[in-house]
Amino acid sequence: MASTEREQGIGAAAGAAAAPGRGGAGRGLRGAHYKWVALSNTTLGILAATTNASIVIISLPAIFRGIHLNPLTPGNISYLLWMLMGYLVVSAVLVVTLGRLGDIYGRVRMYNVGFALFALGALALPFDPLTGPGGALWLIGWRILQAVGGAMLMANSPAILTDAFPYNQRGMAMGVNQIAGISGQFIGLILGGILAAVDWRLVFLVSVPIGVGGAIWSYVSLREVGARTPARIDWLGNLTFAVGLVGLLTGITYGIQPYGGHTMGWTSPFVLTYLLGGVALLAAFCLIELRVAAPMFDLRLLRIRAFSTGVGAALLASIARGGLQFMLIIWLQGIWLVLHGYSFIETPLWSGIYLLPMTAGFLIAGPVSGWLSDRFGARLFASGGLLLSAAAFGGLLLIPVNFGYPLFAFLVFLSGAGMGLFSAPNAAAVMNSVPPRQRGAASGMMATFQNSGFVLSIGIFFSLMIAGLAATLPVTLTSGLAGQGVPLAIARAIGSLPPVGSLFAAFLGYNPVHTLLAPTGVLAHLPAGHVAVLTGRRFFPQLISGPFHHGLAIVFGMAMGVLVAAALLSLRHGGTEAVRQREAAEAARAERALQG
C-alpha cells in the first residue's frame, strides 16, 4: 500500500517518516501546519530570485552612471549585455544540476545553501568599491554568485512544495509559488525604477534583509519530507550540459551585436562557433544521459505526455513573455513617456509604474487558476490563458505608438492575466506527472526551460526588432537629421549606423541623437533652434515611432504565433478527474520503469 501511494503521487511519500531531516522521524511526515510554512518560505525564495533577475533591467542607466561607465560606448556593450544576461544565463544553466543534486542530497539542504549564497551576493553587491570596467566586473561577478544561489532556490522550490502538499492541493500551492516567481520579474522592473531614482546601490541593498532573513528562516523551519535518491553524480552529463547551454546562450547574446558591415552578428565566426558548439555539446549530453546509470536528467521522463508538453509550453510562454517585457520597456522609455513630457532620466521609474497593470493581472489570475485547476484540471486554464495573452498582443498591435493609456493598461492587464492563468496549472500538471524521486530534476528542468526562454527571447525579439528597424530607420534618421541642418554626409553616416545602438539607447532611456552628434562637432555650427530640436525630448521619439511600429508588428506577430503554439501543446493536458488519474498512472508507470 505504501508503494502504491508513492507511485500514484498522492500519498505522503511513504517512508519519509524516517527521513534524515533535522527533526527526526517524528517530524518527517507531512502535516497541515508544515505545508504552509513550506509554501510561505519557498514563495519568498522564488520571489527574491526572480525579482533579482529583472531588477537591473530598468535601473541599468543609474547603475552605469554610478560606476562612471557609458554602456553605449562600443567597447562597453559587453558589460551591458552581461549585466543584463549574466544572472539569467547562469541560473538557466545550473537549475537542472542543482535540482538533481537536491534529489540526491536533500532538496531542503540544497535550498538552504542557495539562500545563503544569495544572501552573500546581496551583501557584496551594494558595496562596489570600483568604477569603470572594474566596477562593472565586480557587479557582474557577484551577480553570478547570486545567480547560483537563485538557481538553487528555483530548482528545489517546486519539489519541496510537491513533497509537502497532497496531490489535490498542489495546483493551489504551485499557483502561489509560480505566480510569485513570474510576477517577481515585473516587480523587479518597478522596484528597480523606484530605488534607482534614489540611489543605484539601493537596487542591490534591498536584497540584503530578504536574503539574510530568508536564509535563517529556511534553515530553522524547513525539513526533509521527500524521498532521497542516493546516486553517483553524472559529471560528464553535467559538464556537457553546462558548457553547451552556456555556449548556445552566449552565442545568442552576442548575435544581436553588429559584426563587420552587418547590422547583427549572426555571421560572426565567434557567434557561429558558440552556437554550433553549444548545439553539438547539448546533442552529446542527450546521448550521454541515455547511457549512464544515474543520469543528471532522465530523458525517459519526456515520455510522460503531461511533462513533455508542459515544459515545452513553459519554454514558449517564457519566450513570448520576455519579448513582451523588453519591447514594452523600449516603447515606454524610448518613445511614449518622452512624448508625454518625461525626461530621459525619469523614464526608467515611470515605465515600471505604467506596467503595474500587467503585474496586477498576474497576481489576480495566478492563484485563482491554481485553485480552480485542482478541481477541473489544467487544460482549460493553461490553453485559455495563452490564447488570452495572444489576443492582448494583437490588441497592442492595433493601437498607435502614441496611445491613450487606459486602453494600453487594459491590454497589458489582459496579457498578465493570461500568463497567470497558464503558469500555475501548467506547473502543477508537470510536477504531478513525474515520479516522486525525480521531482527535483523535473523542477530543475522546468526552471531551465523558463530561464532559457527568457534569454532566447532577447536574442529572438531584439533580432526581429533590429531587422524591422534596419528596413526603415536609416532613411528616416537621415532625412530627419538633414531636415534640421545636419550636413548630408554626416546625416547619411549616422543613418547607416547599425540600429542596435538606437535600440539600446531607447531601452536605457538615453537620448541617442546627442550621443551620435556630439563627437562630430556639428552641434557647435548649427543654429541654436536646430540644436534645441535635435537634443530635445521629442525629436528622437517622433523620428523612431514609424520604424519602431514597423518592427513591433514583426515582433508581436511572432509572439502571437509562439503563444498559439504553446496553447496547442497545453491542449494535450487533461481537464477532467479522469485525465488527472491518467497523469498519475503515467507517473506510476515511469516510476516502475525507473526502478526496473
Out of 123-127, 288-292, 370-374, pick the least confident: 370-374
- Cβ count within 10 A of residue 71: 22
In the numeric block, the cell 533591467 is attached to 57
Reference 108, options 165, 38, 18; nearest CA is 38
Predicted confidence band of residue 569 (pLDDT cuts 50, 70, 90): confident
Whether residue 271 contacts residue 254, with contact meaning beta carbons closer than 8 Å, is answered with: yes
What value does the mean pLDDT of the chain take? Answer: 80
Q: Which pLDDT does position 573 carry in this prediction?
A: 59
pLDDT of the residue at 579: 43
Question: How sure is the predictor about 148, in pLDDT bands with cuts at 50, 70 and 90?
Answer: very high
Residue whose C-alpha cell reads 492563468 in the numeric block: 421
Instruction: Please state the φ and ψ torsions of residue 67, each to the nearest 5 degrees.
Output: -100, 10
414 confidence band (pLDDT: 50, 70, 90)? very high
Predicted pLDDT at 18? 32
- Per-residue pLDDT of 536-555, as tens digits, reads 778 888 888 888 888 888 88
Rounded-to-integer distance, Cα 89 and Cα 77, Å = 17
pLDDT score at 118: 92
Predicted confidence at residue 216, as pLDDT, reads 92
- pLDDT tens digits, 107-116: 899 999 999 9
Cα 141 from Cα 415, distance rounded (Å) = 34
Q: What pLDDT is attached to residue 413? A: 95
Q: Shortest CA distance to 331 belongs to which of 250, 393, 266, 422?
A: 393
Instruction: Report which residue type is found at 41.
Output: N
User: Could you give the angle at which helices 347-354 and 32-66 cross, rounded to 10 degrees?
Assistant: 150
Angle at 153 between CA 11 and CA 571, to 5 degrees: 60
- The predicted pLDDT at position 13 comes to 35
- Least confident span in 232-236, 270-274, 348-352, 439-443: 439-443
CATH 1.20.1250.20 fits 2-233+294-468+550-595, yes or no: yes
**Arithmetic mean of pLDDT, 210-214:** 89
What ranges do the domains of the chain cover?
A: 2-233+294-468+550-595, 234-293, 469-549
Average pLDDT over residues 274-278: 92
Percent above pLDDT 90 for the chain: 18
Residue 25 scores a pLDDT above 50: no
Model confidence at 408: pLDDT above 90: yes
pLDDT at 32: 66
Greatest CA span in the chain, whole angstroms?
88
Neighbours of 572 (CB within 10 A): 15
Q: Quick check: 77 pLDDT over 50?
A: yes
Rounded to whole angstroms, the Cα distance separating 506 from 333 reads 6
> What is the C-alpha to C-alpha distance for residues 451 and 314, in angstroms, rounded to an integer?
10
Enter the DSSP assignment of 71.
T
Q: What are phi and psi of 262, to 5 degrees?
A: -100, 150
Q: Residue 595's pLDDT is what?
A: 52
Ranges 66-80, 229-243, 477-491, most confident:
477-491
Q: What is the pLDDT of residue 590?
A: 53
Higher pLDDT, 436 or 413: 413
**What type of residue is 364?**
I
Please, which residues have CB within 8 angstroms of residue 365's CB and are 6 or more apart in sequence? 179, 385, 416, 417, 418, 419, 420, 421
pTM: 0.74
Which pLDDT score is estimated for 31? 54
- Whether the per-residue pLDDT at 406 is higher than 70: the answer is yes
Q: What is the pLDDT of residue 523?
A: 83
Instruction: In whole angstroms, give the CA distance from residue 326 to residue 312.
Output: 22
In tens, the pLDDT along 485-539 reads 889 888 888 888 777 777 777 667 667 777 778 778 888 888 888 888 888 778 8
